[in-house]
Amino acid sequence: MPHSSFANLFSPLRLGNLTLPNRIVMAPMSTQLGDEEGHVTPRQIAFYKARAEGGVGMIIVEFCCVHRPTGRSEHRQLSLDTPAHLDGHRRLVEVINQAGAVACLQLQHGGSGVPRALVEGGIAIGPSDVVSRRDPSKLTARAMTDAQIEHLIECFGRTAELGVQAGYQAFELHGAHGYLLTQFLSPLTNHREDAWGGDEAGRLRLSQRVIARVKQAIGERPLSYRLSADEFSPAGLGIADMERITPQLVAAGLDLVHVSMGTGYTGMDKVIEPMSAPEGWRLPYARRIRAAVDVPVISVGQIRWPATAEAAIANGDTDLIALGRPLLADPHWASKALRGEVESIRPCTSCNYCVTSHAGAHGVIGCAENPRTGQELDPALDAGSQRGARAVVVGGGPGGMATALMLDQAGYRTELFEARDTLGGGLIASAAPPFKEKLQWYQHYLERQLAASGVEVHLHQRADLSTLLAPRPAIVILAMGGRALSLDIPGIDGERVFDAYELLMGAVDWQPSPQGLPVLIYGGGETGCESAEYLAERGFNVVLVSRSPASQLARAAEAIYRGVLLTRLSSNPRVRIVDGTQIVSISGADAASVSLSGEDGSPWTLLCDRVLIAQGRQPDNALAQALRGAGVPFVAIGDAHHGGRIGDAVHGGYAAVKALRSQTVVVHELAC
């Protein structure tokens, strides 16, 4: 029986002759776990098997290209345009069904946005010609001919027919986010004057024809259409347009509407939101589409907790909830919600580590908090012959806490040392700036997991060599972060100079008047930019000084988050950005007099209340050198090894624990 708080979420839903066991859908997310020919791989099957076993009602398998020569959006995108792809899809459907979930396949063509390296002749096809931004005399995409359009409609139908042979129980057309069907539908990208464009009826024609052909191919199986409810562009489609258009799509043969948002070329922050987006912000859009049609609606995006999902269904915003990134963080989100074990759900913080790990020709799906995502075929963590041996983790940040839990799970007798009087480390600093409070979810989750584990936690205790050697450990994991870079600036040790990182950690005790002189922040990286926003929110005027050009501010930050951060900073009246400038010296007691030098070498002086240094951090190698001298095996992770993101530290810990297993594993001979 479902937990009483989530009765709507775990109620079945009838779609024609198909019944979904609950209202939780796994959203289609590209994994790049297929091979270069578009075949389903064992690694990909294991990825989906974990999510199916986690209790979702339906899995919409990632976008499947209907015509590889012209439509691939990624290097290892799934395909089903030939019978040669069938066997892998059959195995995938089988494991999804065995776990009790419905298998749905999403059909897609990338249109004019496909990478040039992946398309025949280096020129994509789409509704209209697209010229190169770099060279207006060259085309990056060419308008499709009538014959090409008719051929592509048939490709959608043929892939659907092969999907039926593979055993898929439902299908979805990807008409969102700026792919081919969206391109024809939107006046932003469709500039044709023939039967496939011109007016709304013309722009609708391709989607209607594809719906009809696919419905012919799949028979009574349900057909969904994923759409963008708003393109967030004056020249594109808005929610009022989609309220008018969606019923026409439904009339062509749809059984379900999947309401997404945005397009890649008008703002990825609406397609894949940063953590600043509030939970459930898309639900009003889904509600309006739901009111316009007579078929069930799926809502997707920024739904992180079962209570939000339950309320959305109970309030009539939507009929089903699609979870994407939350199922990367925790494949068992649904089963934990079913049991009422909400606090055991590993939370998705929308950090978009998954976007970064997925990028490029060699990228694959991943998750900052769950290093097993995309690696489901890895063997279980096991200490082997070292079971019960002592393992020590130094540092209680995200990497340290996660690694201590993994060592404990593997069977080590694990101790965690943290010099501060609280756990959290870099998570505290990362969660302090505005719009980043979701990171506290992960901190509190790790703290709860530690409290329930066998890890012995030592707070307010700085680990030294004597502590670590009593008794001698099998392994030491150094996860204590880094220390501020040393700068050769006269006056930098003055009483009005502070470390920006320590400010975000809550370790700096000063309260200058917000109405007084400004605070100068030296450093235009992510920490400097976030410190500026942190202080501005508290009423301080800030001068953000960067040695690099303004175009390079926060350049190491995740791209989608960086875009919205810089937009906010540039429009913040309390923040003044001074680029191409460096500090020459700092002096003064009652106020800080900072001598600066511009890019052209011209000197000038700024009087400020405080100076915050945000010039980066570096590993502190003292303990590593002592361990090396004592012959104790150790691994440094996160900022103790090299500056990086939270996910880098967690994944570094996972790699270290996996490497330990390789030293104790027993290798068996093959029978052959």
Active site residue ranges: 179
**Chain centroid offset of residue 151 CA:** 35
Rounded Cα distance between 64 and 61, Å, is: 8
Helix or strand (DSSP H, E) at 182: helix 180-185
Pick from 44, 621, 120, 636: nearest CA to 376: 44
Judged by phi (left if over 0) then psi (alpha if -120 to 50, else beta), residue 101 lies in beta
| Alpha-carbon distances of 113 from 309, 401, 425, rounded to whole Å | 33, 42, 41
Rounded Cα distance between 143 and 458, Å, is: 65
**CA dihedral (214, 218, 220, 226) positive or negative:** negative
Place of tokens 């093959």: 670
Return the bridge partners of 259, or none.
227, 299
Buried b (16+ CB within 10 A) or exposed e, 376-413: beeeebbbeebeebbbbbbbbbbbbbbbbbbbbbbbbb
Return the bridge partners of 256, or none.
224
Place of tokens 């997991």: 449
Pick from 651, 623, 616: nearest CA to 637: 651
| Alpha-carbon distances of 167 from 90, 203, 225, 559, rounded to whole Å | 6, 32, 19, 38
CA angle 664/667/668 to nearest 5° reads: 145
Rounded Cα distance between 119 and 77, Å, is: 13
Helix or strand (DSSP H, E) at 323: strand 320-323
Helix or strand (DSSP H, E) at 146: helix 146-166
Rounded Cα distance between 582 and 382, Å, is: 51
| Alpha-carbon distances of 643 from 391, 481, 546, 618, rounded to whole Å | 24, 8, 19, 7
| Alpha-carbon distances of 24 from 57, 334, 366, 404, rounded to whole Å | 5, 7, 21, 32
For residue 177, give the DSSP letter. Answer: B
Q: CB–CB of 99/50 below 8 Å?
A: no
Q: How many CB atoms are closer than 10 A to CB 659? A: 11
DSSP string of 123-144, one letter each residue: -EEESS-EE-SS-TTSEEEEEP
Q: CB–CB of 320/13 below 8 Å?
A: yes
Pick from 468, 428, 394: nearest CA to 619: 394
Q: Where are the alpha helices (DSSP H) in 37-145?
A: 42-53, 68-71, 86-98
Rounded Cα distance between 519 and 508, Å, is: 14
Rounded Cα distance between 626 and 635, Å, is: 13
Return the bridge partners of 107, or none.
64, 173
Q: Indicate the length of the chain as a whole number.
A: 672
